[in-house]
């Protein structure tokens, strides 16, 4: 189980501090992206730049949907919404901010919006990698992965379904092992942490 010292920055309380704390290790988004040759190069090139991703309508819709979907998951699965950047207790460069975390730390949640009609057994690989890193960081047993499809009506994004679709994603130790190796490569290649401070 995680200890209080493993919760290192809260993006809702101090967004700038949360962004800065992400430089203390490799996040789920980064390690998932760096798992391909092209993505690895992009992560390394962007390392010393601005970690904030420019906003767009797709991201805005996702942010606006994340809150109510996370509360829906809390009601149905007892997974609390989470804004904390969490550090692995024994691997200090392993960082993640899962969208939800149960009080016993055995379950996490991740929320996505998409323009596509995903099948539960064929979720995009980058999201499965992201989830596995979050499971590694938190020590959780599985992730409740929820997504809802968006469509455009009169120039505005709206949900295409009445409620999100959900699938449980269990830990995949083989994928986690590969992600750990990727994270170490990113950390080594970037000279990680040289300009980090919290």
Q: Residue 29 sits in which domain range?
A: 4-190
pLDDT for residue 117: 85
Pair type for strands 142-153 and 107-114: parallel
Q: What SS3 state is found at 73? A: helix
CB 159 within 8 A of CB 150: yes
Please give the DSSP secondary-structure letter assigned to residue 103: T
pTM of the model: 0.90
Within a domain: residue 68?
yes
pLDDT at 4 over 80: yes
Residue 163 within any structural domain of the chain: yes
- What's the number of domains the chain is made of? 1
Please name which of 173, 89, 172, 83 lies closest in space to residue 138, comparing C-alpha atoms.
Answer: 89
Residue 22 is encoded by which pair of tokens? 């992400």
Lowest mean pLDDT among 13-17, 60-64, 67-71, 90-94: 60-64
CATH at 75: 3.90.320.10
Mean pLDDT of the chain: 89
Is 198 part of any domain?
no
Tell me if 38 is assigned to some domain. yes
- The answer to the question of residue 36 being in a domain is yes
Residue 196: inside a domain, yes or no?
Answer: no
User: 86 is written with which tokens?
Assistant: 């969490």
Look at residue 111 and tell me if it is in a domain.
yes
pLDDT at 161: 77
pLDDT digits (tens, 9 = 90+) for 23-72: 999 999 999 999 999 999 999 998 887 666 666 766 676 677 788 899 99
Is there a domain that residue 171 lies in? yes
């Amino acid at each position: 189980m995680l200890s209080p010292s493993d919760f290192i920055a809260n993006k809702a309380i101090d967004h700038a501090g949360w962004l800065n704390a992400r430089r203390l290790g490799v996040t789920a988004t980064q390690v998932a992206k760096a798992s391909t040759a092209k993505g690895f190069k992009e992560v390394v090139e962007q390392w010393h730049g601005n970690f904030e991703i420019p906003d767009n309508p797709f991201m805005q819709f996702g942010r606006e949907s994340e809150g109510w979907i996370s509360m829906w998951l809390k009601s149905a699965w007892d997974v609390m919404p989470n804004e904390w950047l969490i550090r692995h207790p024994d691997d200090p460069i392993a960082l993640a901010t899962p969208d939800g975390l149960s009080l016993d730390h055995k379950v996490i949640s991740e929320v996505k919006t998409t323009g596509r009609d995903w099948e539960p057994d064929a979720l995009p690989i980058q999201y499965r990698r992201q989830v596995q890193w979050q499971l590694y960081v938190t020590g959780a047993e599985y992730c409740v992965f929820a997504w809802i499809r968006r469509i455009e009506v009169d120039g505005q994004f709206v949900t295409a379904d009445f409620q999100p679709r959900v699938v449980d994603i269990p830990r995949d130790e083989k994928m986690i092992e590969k992600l750990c190796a990727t994270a170490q490569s990113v950390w080594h290649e970037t000279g990680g942490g040289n300009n980090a401070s919290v």
